[in-house]
């Protein structure tokens, strides 16, 4: 009797054909989306793995800390690595504050009128401009017109060009992060007498900082890997670092090397370079980007963990 009752209970709660069909469809969808994710991740792992394996014979601490020699085909990548860090650092120091402040104005202060719509359209269109066009703009605006280094290329001209190029993504991501903060947070602050700026500074920005960092993280990879804009405005194929002081490159008076430009030169124009050299340079470039991104991601996770909602 007990066995029959158990059997009836199991039969009562057994899935119907409709439920089983839904479960099969769910499994098919899960497998399909998993395959799509693998289709993006597996090629990336294969490409990065191939680059690292090919460049491994040259990778060493000495390779990172010595200047290129013999026209770049011997020695290390020290001057190119430092130049890349200079370009990324200065461009983010310029673009991040301007982009965040512009997004705060557009999201928190600006009214929905024709001027705001024109500005938003300009931001979207600026994001689609090819990088070579940004390079030509930087050459005309910062090298020749602004005359930052007496009409010569310089690190600051290249950094300004990269800053203009990265502004749209920072503005867009910051606007999205600001919009994700509930309106009730703002209303609660206004109800207790806080001004609009106090609300933004004390409530909105702290609760959206992780999203703002997302836009900044996205731009690190782009600025580190760009070749055309910096080639026209401030990067040279050969410049050794001779100073041992804290200012290895002068931002206004010097040009610099960059890993992306150095890689392009070695892969396409240099003669007599070891076969592993382009892959070793590419590995250092990818590693530098990953290291900077990982640091920013860890900081973002820490800030997100402190959210109360």
Mean pLDDT per 10-residue run, the chain (309 residues)? 54 68 88 90 91 92 88 86 91 91 90 86 85 91 86 90 91 89 87 88 86 82 85 86 70 88 88 88 91 81 70
The three-point CA angle 182-209-294 to 5° equals 135
Residue 8: predicted pLDDT: 47
Tokens 């410049």, located at residue: 239
d(CA 253, CA 102): 30
Quote the crossing angle between the two packed helices 205-225 and 259-268, to the nearest 10°. 20
Predicted pLDDT of residue 158: 93
What distance separates the 2 farthest-apart alpha carbons in the chain?
A: 100
- State residue 13's pLDDT score: 55
pLDDT for the residue numbered 243: 60
Q: Cα–Cα distance between 10 and 174 in angstroms, integer?
A: 54
Question: Can you name the CATH fold of 60-305?
Answer: MetI-like fold (1.10.3720)
């Amino acid at each position: 009797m007990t066995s029959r009752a158990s059997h009836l209970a199991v039969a009562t709660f057994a899935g119907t054909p409709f439920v089983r069909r839904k479960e099969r469809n769910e499994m098919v969808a899960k497998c399909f989306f998993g395959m799509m994710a693998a289709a993006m991740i597996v090629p990336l792992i294969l490409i990065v793995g191939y680059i690292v394996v090919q460049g491994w014979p040259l990778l060493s601490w000495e390779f990172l800390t010595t200047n290129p020699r013999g026209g770049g085909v011997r020695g290390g990548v020290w001057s190119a690595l430092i130049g890349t860090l200079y370009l990324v650092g200065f461009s983010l120091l310029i673009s991040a504050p301007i982009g965040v402040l512009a997004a705060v104005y557009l999201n928190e202060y600006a009214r929905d009128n024709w001027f705001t719509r024109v500005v938003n359209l300009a931001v979207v269109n600026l994001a689609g401009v090819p990088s070579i066009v940004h390079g030509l703009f930087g050459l005309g605006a910062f090298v020749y017109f602004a005359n930052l280094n007496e009409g010569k290329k310089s690190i600051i001209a290249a950094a300004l060009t990269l800053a203009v190029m990265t502004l749209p993504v920072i503005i867009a991501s910051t606007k999205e992060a600001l919009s994700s903060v509930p309106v009730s947070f703002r209303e609660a602050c206004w109800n207790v007498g806080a001004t609009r700026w106090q609300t933004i500074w004390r409530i909105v920005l702290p609760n959206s900082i992780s999203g703002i960092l997302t836009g900044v993280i996205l731009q690190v990879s782009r600025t580190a890997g760009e070749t055309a804009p910096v080639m026209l405005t401030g990067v040279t194929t050969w410049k050794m670092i001779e100073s041992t002081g804290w200012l290895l490159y002068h931002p206004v008076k010097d040009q610099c090397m960059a890993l992306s430009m150095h890689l392009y030169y070695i892969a396409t124009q240099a003669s007599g370079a070891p076969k592993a050299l382009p892959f070793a340079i590419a590995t250092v470039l990818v590693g530098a980007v990953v290291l900077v991104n990982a640091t920013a991601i860890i900081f973002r996770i820490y800030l997100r963990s402190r959210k109360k909602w």
